[in-house]
Amino acid sequence: MANKVEEYLAKIRQLNGLKNAILCGLTVEKKTGEVEFFLVTDKTYSALEEAQAKKICAEFLPDGFSATVKIVKRVPDAETVKEKIFSYMQKTFPAAAAFLEEGSIEVEMLSSGAHFYVDIASGEQSLFSSGKILDEVSRYLMSGFCGSFYGNVRIVEKAPLDTSILNEVPEDKEEIAAVEIRRFPVCEYQKIDGADFPIEQAVYMADCHQLEEPYSVCGKVTYIEEIKYVRHNERTGEDVEKTRFSLSLTDGTANLRTTYFPKKATVEKVREIKIGDNIVITGENEEYRGSRSFKAAKINYGQPPAGFEPVARKGKPVPKFYHTVFPQPYTDYKQTGFFDDLSKPADLKNNVFVCFDIETTGLNNNPAMGRMDKIIELGAVKIVNGEMVEKFSSFIACPDRLSREIINLTGITDADLVGAPEVDKVLADFYKFTDGALLVGHNVGFDYRFVQYYGEQHGYMFDKKQYDTLSLAQEVLRGKLANYKLNTVADYYGLTFNHHRAFDDACVTAKVFIELVKAKGYLN
C-alpha cells in the first residue's frame, strides 16, 4: 500500500502546481463508487493541472470506481508553524513541553517546508533525543503542510527556576479542580467469563472515557445482538465461522455500546443474556482514528446496589476569564421594532438567556451508538432584559476531514478549520458565557447533548435548564404552519438568515424566541 501511495504521489508531483503536494485523505461514496482524493499543495495550480490530477487519480482506482479531486492551497507562515509545534508538544509530549515556552521555538521558513529549533538548557536534551520527539513533530507537520520539516535543539543558558513561585497562585491563573472518577459497588456477581473472585467496583459510564487502565462497568442491557462473521485461518487456509455479540447497556449516568467476542466455552451462556438483565463488563478504552471506544474483554452477571442513585459529579469551576473566544457586543439595527414593546413578559425581562447552535460533522450525538461526531462551529447570542446584547462565535478544530454533505450543507470547509481552537478551549469559554443563563435552542436537545458530552470530557459540567423554540412554536403557532422547522418559523416572522451556520442560526433562534415568548406571555 505504501508503495502505491509513493507511486501515486510521484506522478502527482510531476505537475508543477502540485510538485510538493501531500495526500491528506480519501473519501469513498459507496452508493456511487465515487472516490474523492484530498490533496494539499503550497503552489498555485491551474484548472488544467487539476484536470490532469483527476486523471492520475483515476489510474489508481479499481474498475467500477470514478475519481474526483479536491485541492487546497495551504502555505503556513512561521508563526503558524510555531503554534502548531507548541500545541502538538503540549498534547503529545507533556513531560518535554513542561520545559518549554512558545518563545523557546524558532522557525526558519524555506522555499518548501521549514527548519525549526528548540532552545533548551544543558541537561534537558535527553528529553528530546531519547524519544525522537523532534522526528515525531516533523512527521506531524508534514501530515498537514507541504514540504520537509526538520528540527534540532539549541543549548542555551536559562535562569534557575524560582521555586518560591510554585506555592503561589497568580491572580490571572485559575485553579482547576481535578475531575473525579466515580464508582459504585457491584452486587450479586455471577461468573460467566471471568475470574472466580467477584468484581467489586464499577466505574460510572459517564466517567469511563477518561480512564487509561482496564476497568469494569455495570448496568442494564438495553440491546443485544448475536452476529455471525467469517474469519480466514491463515494456518489451515480455511474460512471459519465465528460469533460476536453487539451490546448496549446503561447505568443511569450514560449509555455504553461495545462488541464482545466470546470463547467457545462461554458462547451458550452469553446467548442467555437478554434485554433487561444486569451485567458487568470488564475491558479498556482503545483509540482508533481519533475516536475512543470501549473494548470488552470479560462479561459476567452483576448489578448496581438496590435503589442506586448516581452521585452528581463535581467539575471545573466557571473560568474567571475568557482565554480563546471573546464575546463581542451585539447590535442588529434590522430589529427596529422588535424590542419597542415596553410590556415585555416578566419571564423575558427577569432572566438571562443564551440562544445557541452548533454545526457538526454528522448526526451522532450518542456515544452508545458508535463514534461521536465532532463539533466544528459554535455560535450563541445572549439576551438580557429581552434584548440581544452579546455574541459568541468560533470555529472548532476537527481532526477528521469534512464530508461532502457537511461542506455542501454548511459551506464550512477543511481550510476554514485550519488553526481553529480545540473544542476544550471553546467550551471553557462557552461555559463562562452561559454562567447564570438559561439555554435556548431550536430542537435544543440535539445540540445540547454534543455540548454536554464534550464538556464533560474536559471537566465542564453543563447542567442548564433549556427552552426549545421548536416546542414553543408548536404551542404558539399551532395550525398556522405546515411544519415547525427553524426556517419555516423564521419565515412566519419575516426573518431571513444564512441557514446551517451556527451564529446565524443562533441569532434567528433568539429573535424567534423573543417573539414566541411575547406571543405566549410567559414561560413555563
Residues annotated catalytic, as ranges: 500
| Neighbour-count burial of 157, counting CB atoms closer than 10 A to its CB (0-12 exposed, 13-18 middle, 19+ buried) | exposed
Residues 177/314, Cβ–Cβ less than 8 Å: yes
Lookup: cell for 473? 412554536
Q: What are phi and psi of 65, to 5 degrees?
A: -115, 145
Instruction: Please measure the distance between the N-terminal and C-terminal CA atoms of the chain and give it in whole angstroms.
Output: 61
Lookup: cell for 178? 481535578
Residues 100/133, Cβ–Cβ less than 8 Å: no
∠ CA 210-432-409, rounded to 5°: 75
What burial letters (b/e) apply to 236-260, b meaning 16+ CB within 10 Å?
eeeeeeeebbebbbbbebbbbbbeb
Residues 185/213, Cβ–Cβ less than 8 Å: no
In a 3-state reduction of DSSP, which class is residue 120? strand
Residue holding cell 526558519? 108
Give strand pairing partners of 115.
108, 150
Lookup: cell for 87? 500545541
Residues 147/113, Cβ–Cβ less than 8 Å: yes
Torsional class of 493: left (φ above 0), alpha (ψ -120 to 50), beta (otherwise): alpha
C-alpha closest to that of 298 among 387, 190, 395: 190
Residues 468/486, Cβ–Cβ less than 8 Å: no
Residue holding cell 441557514? 499
Residues 450/396, Cβ–Cβ less than 8 Å: no
DSSP for 327-385, please give it. Answer: -EE---GGGTTTT--S---HHHHSSEEEEEEEEESSS---GGGSSPPPEEEEEEEEEET
CA 432 → CA 269, 309, 316, 421, distances in Å? 50, 29, 11, 16
In a 3-state reduction of DSSP, which class is residue 66? strand
CA 497 → CA 110, 393, 487, 490, 493, distances in Å? 44, 16, 8, 8, 12
Q: What are phi and psi of 492, to 5 degrees?
A: -60, -40
